[in-house]
Amino acid sequence: MQLALVHARYQLLEIVRIPVAVFGSAFFPAAAMIFFVVPFAGEDATGATFATASMVTFSVMSANIFQYGVGVAEDRDQPWNPYTRTLPAGPAPRFAGRVLAGLALTYLSLIPVVVIGATLTAARITPVALLLTVGTVAVISVPFTLMGLAIGYSLPSKAAIVVAQVVFLPLAFGGGLLSAPGEAPGFIETISPFLPTRGAAELMWAAVGDYSVEPLALIMLGVWVVLLATLAGWAYRRDEGRRFS
């Protein structure tokens, strides 16, 4: 655990030295809050609460896909990366440190969304629901962490940036993150339960208010976790084999 914390500290220091990395993870959800949630749902307590939860999901997805997808790909390009894999501690502490650093960055990226929701809208949440939401953030980070890892270990850094950008917005729109629960266009309502963003969003909605999670969305979220874990594991083993063959 101590080695994992050392690696996490290193990862966080590396990220903080380039503030734009932190800014980028928080910008799009915060901008969406200001331009869409505040003017259209800001005075409706229930609507604003669910919309803020959607933007939290948006931020979680953004932070993890880009942090792992681009970050891992860039690390793989570093000449010292193969050496670190030969150290006696093995890859586990470094991987655990990256996950801890990514989770810290995820929570950091949520601050602007939460502040905007609390100060510029009528969104309200109970202390118990707030604690539940904090835990739910860690849970819904899992599929997007795995997605980022799959991208990062499969592709070189330049390609990883493009792929992360390509999958990001379709998942947000297709998952219904930019509309109220049950009020997305018909086509979006049809496809959204099959996307990981919808299952993640529904867990967030259930955490902050009176919302019943659709079983299909939850089942498909589990399916996505299994598929993405398999893909990320395969990509990691392939990369490992290439570097030491």
pLDDT score recorded for residue 202: 95
Q: What is the pLDDT of residue 80?
A: 65
How large is the C-alpha radius of gyration of the chain?
A: 18
Residue 97 has a pLDDT of: 75
How are the residues of the chain apportioned to helix, strand and coil, as percentages rounded to the nearest 5? 80, 0, 20
The two three-digit tokens of residue 43, written as one number: 């005075």
**CA-CA distance, 157 to 161, in Å (whole number)?**
6
The pLDDT tens digits of the residues spanning 209-235 come to: 888 999 999 999 999 999 999 998 888
For residue 112, CA distances in Å to 33, 56, 74, 203, 239 come to 9, 10, 27, 21, 36
Domain ranges of the chain: 2-240
Question: How do residues 232-241 score in pLDDT, each as one tens digit?
Answer: 888 888 877 6
Output the pLDDT for position 33.
83
For residue 89, pLDDT beyond 80? no
Residue 61: HSE in the Cβ half-sphere, 13 Å Cα cutoff: 27
pLDDT (0 to 100) of residue 1: 63
Q: State both tokens at 184.
A: 């997305």
- Please indicate whether residue 92 or residue 27 has the higher confidence score (pLDDT): 27
Q: How far apart are CA 225 and CA 231, in angstroms?
A: 10
Q: Is the pLDDT of residue 96 over 80?
A: no
Give the mean pLDDT of 101-126: 86
Instruction: Go through 110-119 and write b for each residue having 16 or more CB atoms within 10 A of its CB, e for each that does not.
Output: bebbbebbee
